[in-house]
């Protein structure tokens, strides 16, 4: 593989496309995990977990109820997406932007596929009446999808920008 600094725009575009496809695959797998856990009851409705409703904190969750299940799952996935930085001893703002962009795309793909693949739900019930945990809709789609995908793809585009991710490598060996 060529060093990041020497890659052409076409190679960077291929890399970006492969990364997005991989994130979509991860989203599909995790959607199936959540279908097994939640069944027909989305947003952890029937899980034995704590909940925070009607709090100013809900704004950070797209006005959804905050559940212990989702706090732990979201935190776990964020840590997993950051694991390659620790494995390689690399860090840069562009790599962090790439990770954050991937996380945003992952959660939207995962959420949509939860509906599409869930035999107890399906796309016919993907609407504001049957999905009360998505409180804000635009053009028949949860507003979170537009905002998160726009932010995610902007972060990804910047991360694959002209100079690519300039890395800061640790000089200490990982043991």
- 31-63 pLDDT, tens digit per residue, is 999 999 999 998 999 999 999 998 888 888 888
Q: Which residues pair with 137 in a beta bridge?
A: 142
Smallest CA-to-CA distance from 80 within 45, 51, 53, 106 is with: 106
CA distance 136 to 152: 19
Instruction: Report the pLDDT value the prediction gives residue 9, as an integer from 0 to 100.
Output: 85
| Tokens read off for 59 | 């704004």
Domain ranges of the chain: 6-165
Burial group, residue 62, by CB count within 10 angstroms (0-12, 13-18, 19+) = middle
Q: Which residues pair with 66 in a beta bridge?
A: 52
Instruction: Report the pLDDT value the prediction gives residue 169, as an integer from 0 to 100.
Output: 53
Smallest CA-to-CA distance from 14 within 1, 27, 25 is with: 1
What one-character DSSP code corresponds to residue 60?
G
Nearest-5° angle of CA 4, CA 161, CA 164? 20
Q: How far is CA 103 from CA 20, 56, 109, 137, 151, in A?
A: 10, 23, 10, 21, 11
Q: Which residue has the higher pLDDT, 62 or 22?
A: 22
Instruction: Report the pLDDT value the prediction gives residue 20, as an integer from 0 to 100.
Output: 98
Instruction: Report the pLDDT value the prediction gives residue 166, as an integer from 0 to 100.
Output: 53
What confidence tens digit (pLDDT) does each residue in 134-161 have? Answer: 999 999 999 999 999 999 999 999 999 8
CA distance 121 to 125: 6
Smallest CA-to-CA distance from 115 within 140, 86, 92 is with: 140
51 phi and psi, to 5 degrees? Answer: -140, 145
What one-character DSSP code corresponds to residue 128?
T
Residue with tokens 């800061």: 168
Res 21 pLDDT > 60: yes
Strand 66-67 to 51-52 pairing: antiparallel
């Amino acid at each position: 593989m060529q060093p990041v600094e020497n890659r052409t725009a076409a190679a960077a575009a291929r890399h970006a496309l492969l990364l997005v496809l991989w994130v979509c695959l991860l989203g599909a797998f995790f959607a199936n995990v959540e279908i097994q856990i939640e069944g027909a009851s989305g947003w952890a409705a029937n899980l034995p977990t704590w909940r925070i409703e009607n709090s100013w904190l809900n704004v950070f969750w797209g006005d959804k109820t905050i559940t212990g299940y989702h706090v732990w799952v979201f935190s776990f996935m964020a840590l997993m997406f950051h694991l390659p930085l620790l494995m390689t001893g690399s860090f840069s703002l562009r790599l962090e932007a790439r990770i954050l962009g991937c996380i945003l795309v992952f959660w939207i793909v995962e959420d949509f596929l939860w509906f599409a693949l869930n035999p107890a739900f399906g796309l016919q019930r993907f609407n504001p009446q049957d999905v009360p945990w998505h409180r804000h809709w635009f053009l028949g789609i949860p507003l979170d999808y537009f905002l998160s995908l726009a932010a995610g793809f902007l972060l990804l585009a910047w991360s694959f920008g002209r100079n690519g991710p300039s890395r800061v490598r640790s000089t200490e060996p990982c043991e």
